[in-house]
Chains A and B, each alone.
Chain A
Amino acid sequence: MIPKFDYFRPKTTEELVDLLAKYGEDAKMFAGGTDLFVLMRDRLIRPKYVIDLKGIEELHEFSYDEKRGLRIGATVTLNELLESDVVKERFGVLWSAAGALADPTIRNRGTLVGNICNASPAADTAPALLVLDAEVEVAGKGGERTIPIRDFFIGVKRTSLKPEEFVKAVRIPNPPAGAKGGYYKWGRTRGEDLAVVGVAALVVNSGKRIVRVALSSVFKTPLRVPEVEKVFEEEGPLDEQIERAVSAVQEKIAPITDVRSSKEYRIHMAGVLTRRALKELFGGS
């Protein structure tokens, strides 16, 4: 059973701002609830107040602009993302990450913003947002601000959000021209699982090579590896570069051993997935 709590369903962001100003520390927000209610049922958290964001129409905005790129509101579900042709065609790395998260029934409720606010090191969409240089639109009593995604995650299940703040939307600029991307997830099974390791990669292979790689489940936060980008800044044989990228990833990550995997297997698989991702993304161009 879920312990008792007071439930709010604000209709406007102004109402939400007021609620958070009043109850911030004791309140938890949810859209899909696929993380929050599991934690509450397990008594891992016991918020006095639970705020449902689904009543705020503004937060359900999901738009694309040729110049500014993608804007995904806080209550846009993962399945809504997956149904978008723009996401599929232009933000392939995000599309493949969203499709790798949990299963269709959970994606029917779960949201992209919820996934990053939960801030699990295993968050499947986070590495994709990291390689896409996403920005997080945040609002609160003190006004609005934008947090680059690379500064958003600060620890296991911790973000740089203040208690009275909420995420309005995630903005994703258009990727560099000709970019291809994918999220390569490894679980314990072929069926639905949390990531033992996940690798998001974005590759441009026209003229100068651009490569960005970020990972889940191998560090206290989702992690982008800038050292990989440096490898490809210089000219060189591709296979050699890929092997150097693999080494860069394996040196940078600091996974733990837990019930899902040993540290050693995570390091090994981070290398395998990075290599597979880069070979596939380069090979297909």
Chain B
Amino acid sequence: MVKYSYVGKDVPRLDAIEKVTGTALYTGDLRFPGMLHTKLLKSPYAHAKIKKIDTSEAEKLPGVRAVLTGEEAPYRFGIYMSDKTILAIDKVRHVGEPVVAVAADTEEIAEQAVELIKVEYEELPAVFDVRKAMEEGSPLVHENLSEYKHAPFVYPKPGKNIANHFKLRKGDVERGFREADVVIENEFYQPQVQNVQMETHTSIGQWLQNGQINVWTSAQSPFAVRHLLGVGLGVPLHRINVVVPYIGGGFGGKAGLHWEPLVVLLSKKAGGRPVKLVMTREEQFYTTAVRQGFYGRIKTGVKRDGKITAMEILYLWDAGAYADYGVNITRAAGYSCTGPYEIPNIKCDSITVYTNHPYGTAYRGFGHPEFHFATERQMDLVAREIGMDPVEFRLKNAAVPGRITATGEKLREDAGRVDECIKAVAEAIGWGKKEPKQVGGKLRGRGIAALWKAPAMPSFTSSSAILKLNEDGSVTLSISSTEMGQGTPTALAQIVAEELQMPIEKIKVVTKRETDFGPYSWQTVASRGLFMEGNATLDAAKNLKEQVKATAAELLGVPKEKLVVAEEKVFVPGQPDKSLPLASLATAGIFPDGRGIGGPVLGYGMYTAEGLTNLDPETGQGLPALMWTFGAQGAEVEVDPETGDVRVLKMASAFDIGKTINPTIVKGQIYGGIVQGIGSAFMEEFIFDQKGKLLNSNLTDYKICRAQDIPDEFVFIPIENPQLNAPHGARGVGEHPRISIEPAIANAIYDAVGVDLFEIPMSREKVWLGLKRKGERK
């Protein structure tokens, strides 16, 4: 029995007091001497040539320190597809795209200066629909697609509006359809939405005259910012320091690089003064990145006994004007295209399409909330067609350990169990139980949807951790995975405390991330943080113990192997005289005669994703997944047939997270994901006019969940089948609760009122329309 047990316990969040007292600092709180403020001149057109820019009046305005145009910033940036400059050059590609940036002494002056800038445009034909954008003769959003640098696993089609075409071919789809008793085809749609972080994108940049670049930014991934900034600008990385304080919500929208190059270039032009940019809420909707739109078409072949024989899948992604992240979302959705089922014959085309909409980026779930709406609705529609219970149908085809995924991966024996998740959720929502359908004029129904997701990342990404032993025996953990609400640092402190067998109060996790000092981490994305940082942190703790033991072995005159580190000591069990406090070894060990030995103890640990491979460019076959986290969501709804109002009475969720490190933090993730999903299911949607102008670029008309909109009841069932190469067996679950909310609710709405919905959001009006059409058909 160990003395200190933290893993699996409700340790309070490390950042709680700082955040509730308002002392936690975010990028927007930072002020520096001489700091300038930025405002942007943005395109009023969805697609237009820039004929002329006249900034002369703006430059004359007192207090204006730098006016920057695209021509002065001819750098392309990107992580997967370098298709974007920081300000438009030659043409604009979406309404809200920045054309000129002004840095001035105050925000007011910068705003006045922007109003003094004159830009002449020549409007070009624009394209807004992904299917039209793929047609021959459609206006081209990027004429020079062939010149853009991109990751090797991205397949753009120059001369077309296609930034990536991911192909997956498994088995023989034609044969699969011939073997099927029934073939069913449906189309599904999800609109562009915004991540709606509480903190809008905020960055401060400084390019000093000695060549040093400093950046403070609300970014998820400090090292990715440094790398992409350095590569884009052609500046050596050791000349760039990126600092990330707390982040007020990321949800994917702050992954990679965003506005950091702009503030850095403005600073250079302003002689090295720090330059700050805070996006307004409106700019957060139409200037900065958003979630892609989705169109899906799925054809499923199935035997009467419920075995799926084939799936033919088309996913089109409305990437908007730029597709840096879009290309990889397309790929991730492509290799996971079936959802958590074993399908013998698959043909999938997942295509990133450029349009003149705001540009897409990562959003919690990375394409999975979008395509699972299609696949999990389709599962219900197919089950209904063959007269099978939807739960039984899912279990029959479930991708359980040993079965083969779409990319030909045989699921490892210690993979999670989607079947257990489905069963747990079915039980929690009373699946199959006879309950009154009609309650006071309203109709009740239940729906289920399963899900899976693996971290979408290059095959070789890595993380590291540094664990410093302090002079009093306490330890300080440095990692570069950021804290944006997900709670990973707290979980890592628990892991360290348990590994070192010391009180958690003696562990600090550094709150600020800074590339000059912090250990490398690829990105804080993809639900990979706990798994990868967790493994690196465990490795660092073991390394620290090794260093301590090596010195202690010399001082105590015992073999290293006999020593144990626990309770802030290093000792030989059962020999009280063979023991040293850790504090006495922090800077160096000391022999009785005063000689020193060893040195400051600095544990280092790392972890590199294991067993991943590239995917075949023609068939998509290979090993893309570090871990699959499986889950299921169950919804119980009550529909008002007169108004179309849907109330979610209960959401039950189960995820095979391997091992719970901190139950309260996990629940926070689960409930938060569900609430975000409910916003998407019922209300979130970009509404454009004919010219591509966003009509609801504010929280008045872009609705997100309020307290009144959330379910009456949440039930979370953790499933814990540990994954052996994970820290304590724990898998990531950051994104998963956000997935399969929409289809679970849509399936429940059908169960309640017999209306099939194929479009998100399922607004009151759309449900009412569905009911009305159903009534008219009768």
Contact = CB atoms under 8 A, between A and B. Distances in A.
A189 B643 contact: no
Interface range for B: 20 to 34
Contact of B111 (A1, A186, A191, A269): A1
Contacts of A272: 642-643
B709 A191 contact: yes
B706 A191 contact: yes
B695 A189 contact: no
B643 A269 contact: yes
A43 to B, nearest CB: 9
B695 A259 contact: yes
B768 A268 contact: yes
Contact of B709 (A186, A190, A262): A190
A188 B683 contact: yes
Contact of A261 (B703, B706, B707, B765): B765
A260 interface: yes
Contact of B683 (A103, A189, A268): A189
A31 interface: no
A265 B768 CA distance: 8
A4 interface: yes
A259 B708 contact: no
A259 B689 CA distance: 10
Interface in A106-154: none
B428 interface: no
Contacts of A189: 682-683, 703, 705-706, 708-709
Given A262-B765, A268-B768, A272-B643, A191 B707 contact: yes
A194 interface: yes
Q: Which of A103, A191, A272 has most chain B Cβ within 10 Å?
A: A191
Contacts of A58: none
A57 B768 CA distance: 49
A193 interface: yes
Interface string A226-268: 0000000000000000000000000000000001111001001
Given A1-B108, A1-B111, A272-B643, A188 B764 contact: yes
Contacts of A193: 703
Nearest to B282: A42
Contacts of B111: 1
Interface in B79-128: 107-108, 111
A15 interface: no
Nearest to B106: A1
Interface residues of A, number: 19
B701 A1 contact: no
B182 interface: no
A274 to B, nearest CB: 12
A192 B700 CA distance: 9
B696 interface: yes
Interface in B119-143: none
A109 B695 CA distance: 27
B306 to A, nearest CB: 38
A194 B696 CA distance: 13
A48 B145 CA distance: 49
Interface string B181-203: 00000000000000000000000
B539 to A, nearest CB: 46
B682 A265 contact: no
A269 B767 CA distance: 13
Interface in A176-216: 186, 188-194
Interface string B671-701: 0000000000011000100000001100011
Interface in A1-33: 1, 4
Nearest to A275: B642
Q: Which of A4, A260, A261 has most chain B Cβ within 10 Å?
A: A260
Contacts of A262: 765
Given A1-B108, A272-B642, A259 B701 contact: yes
Contacts of A269: 643
A101 to B, nearest CB: 13
A224 to B, nearest CB: 24
A103 B699 CA distance: 13
Contacts of A1: 107-108, 111
Contact of B765 (A103, A190, A265): A265
Contacts of B459: none
B709 A259 contact: no
A256 to B, nearest CB: 14
Contacts of B707: 191
A192 B708 CA distance: 8
A262 B706 CA distance: 23
Given A4-B108, A259-B695, A190 B643 contact: no
A77 to B, nearest CB: 20
Contact of A259 (B645, B682, B696): B696
B763 interface: yes
A260 B696 CA distance: 9
A227 B763 CA distance: 32
Q: Which of A190, A193, A194, A260 has most chain B Cβ within 10 Å?
A: A190
A272 B108 CA distance: 48
Contacts of A261: 765
Nearest to A38: B700
B768 A188 contact: no
A186 B643 contact: yes
A174 B709 CA distance: 37
A273 to B, nearest CB: 9
A186 B706 CA distance: 15
Contacts of B769: 265
A188 B696 contact: no
Contacts of B682: 189
Contacts of A194: 700
B642 A191 contact: no
Nearest to B642: A272
B496 to A, nearest CB: 41
B651 to A, nearest CB: 15
A191 B699 CA distance: 12
B103 to A, nearest CB: 15
Given A191-B709, A262-B765, 10 more contacts: A1-B107, A188-B703, A189-B683, A189-B708, A189-B709, A190-B645, A190-B708, A191-B703, A191-B707, A265-B769
7 contacts: A4-B108, A186-B643, A188-B763, A189-B683, A259-B696, A259-B701, A272-B643
- Nearest 10 CB-CB pairs, A to B? A191-B706, A190-B708, A191-B708, A265-B765, A259-B695, A191-B709, A190-B709, A189-B703, A1-B111, A259-B687
